[in-house]
Structure 1
Amino acid sequence: MPDCKLDAHGIHSGGQMNQNTKPVVTVLTAPGEQEPPGMDALRARAEVRFAWDEATLNNTLPGTNVMMVTDFRTEALAAAWPSADRLEWIHATSAGVDALMFPALIDGDVTVTNARGIFDRTIAEYVLCTILMFAKDFPGSMRLQARHEWKHRDTERAEGQQVLIVGAGSIGGQIARLCKAVGLKPHGIARKPRQDDDFVAVHGNDDLTEQLGLADYVVIAAPLTPQTEGLFNAKAFKSMRNSARLINIGRGPVVKTDDLIDALKSGEIAGAALDVFEEEPLPADHPLWDMENVIMTAHMSGDFIGWKRALTDQFLDNLDRWQKGQERFNLVDKKLGYASK
């Protein structure tokens, strides 16, 4: 590491802390939320402050070097942003960072990392589960069970079905691996075509419409960006097979909900499994609740027992790297809105 001087806060120009100086870390949580597990381990490495709204951020941000964000209330952070006089790095405890971004952060020098990798496997398990539930008609069986009705039916084979994964990144790749393991044929959509052993093929964004017409299952694993917001609209659903099912584990606003409901009612597509929605929580009187060709969960596809501690441990690993002047992992391209490597 090249020689560099310490500033008044014990930070090298390369980001490495003086060994005798603890960095200041502000943890942004939701009001009333318990502190994340693992904070004792963080306190051993840093001076820890907590904030939950604009007022507390204005008190804690001066002198803060690093933020760990568990609550993505961008209006509070954006409003308090002028108080961030020493901030170098924000870590988001989620894979998606769309709710965190605002112009001053995007255009400034503060780096952003995310929780890429923590939820990949469990989200992939969720996707595979929903595919098999559709193929074996488990929703129908559960309705029959609730009515104490014995009714034999034939169901579909999953093997050989084509799965289109829109968003061929870290999560998409894990989905593809599990799909391949059971004989499904995963194709991906990414910014550009590429060779990837996890997929049968990865196609570019320009091939989306064509690929939608070939898929038996369409999985949304893309981040929310200006390019993906509303991507699945009436035109997209018309491009899909009548027998196809949509699975959304990405972000709710990627799908135009009203257009999806129309497509499900008209038979343009056969079903949907939804873990994320344009409006959360979903209102109790929303029509999606009562549609028999819809499987719904409450934004939980990646959450596993112990996930909160896993997020803290991941942040601590990256904090150690930062304090040693090493390259951090999961650096987000703020213009693109996701970690690209």
Structure 2
Amino acid sequence: MATNLVVYDLKKITPLITPRKGEEKLGEHIQLLQTDEPLKNQLQSSDAKYVLLGIPEHIGVIGNLGKPGTANAWQASLSFILNIQHNKFTKGSKILLLGHLDFSKDLKRIESLEGEEKVEEARKTTASIDKEVANLIYTIVFNGKKPIVIGGGHNNAYGMIKGTSLADGNAINCLNIDAHTDFRKREGRHSGNGFSYAYHEGFLKNYFAFGIHENYTSKKVFKKMDKNPDIQYNTFEELFVRKEKGLDFELKEAIDFVKSSKFGLEIDMDAIENMPSSAMTSSGLSLNTVRELVFSAKKSKNIAYLHVCEAAPNIDNPREITQVGKAIAYLVSDFIRK
């Protein structure tokens, strides 16, 4: 198993579940690893369709000179996911809850540094996190499961894409719902260049960036995307300000661009209006729109994973914890919904 993987058992999750007479919660039916057998054996023997995993880190965000806090999203959302109703629409038995990857020692070491040294060390450590994420995602996908990964910075898109690509034996496609392209220059690994590294190294083929903000996308990035036939995008302003493009049409165009082969679905919580995140926006997609996007994309037989990242709630703020936790729980339920 992955070196930093913390595997969850009943003792870990039971305190997070709030039982209620006459109701069944998703956490009461969710599958867990049962033995010390190799992970691949347990994945093969499990009839779960999805594997739920947390990555509580913001090392890649620090490497991108961003606002920390994405390490809190997994803790904020897990109890809300476990307390979804288990019913004919959302079945806990379809999910194997694996646990989380623990990079807290690395994070503590990096947070003790300052200036350029801090950024440099964060980028170096992000590259080592990439390897661990890619290896674990490879094992999950190769053994026939769809990962649902929560938390951390968007740097982890690289490991998601690489692991899935290696398991499939081909470059994969990706639909990224985001305010930013995260296709920045390859200057050392961080949360802003996961897709550019994955594309450059041959793990990513078709890439669609959905709802990017014209205010926060450079001329250089637009130029790079416009001349590359493997990249398509639409902007938030085209869709919702100038209304040059219809949402339903654009959603179909985006899914059609990626669905011909295995593809990942990336949800950057920065895209959602007023969501506590590493780059919170006062103008963005509604949560309901993103839920519709998730449900529409998951209907494709080639969808390989769901990655929800960049949420950054203040762990001491109950309102932010509830806002982020419930939002992520909705996105997870839409992904597994019948």
TM-score w.r.t. structure 1 length? 0.27
Larger RCO: Structure 1 or Structure 2 (Cα < 8 Å, ≥ 6 residues apart)?
A: 2
TM-score by length of 2: 0.27
Higher alpha-carbon Rg:
1
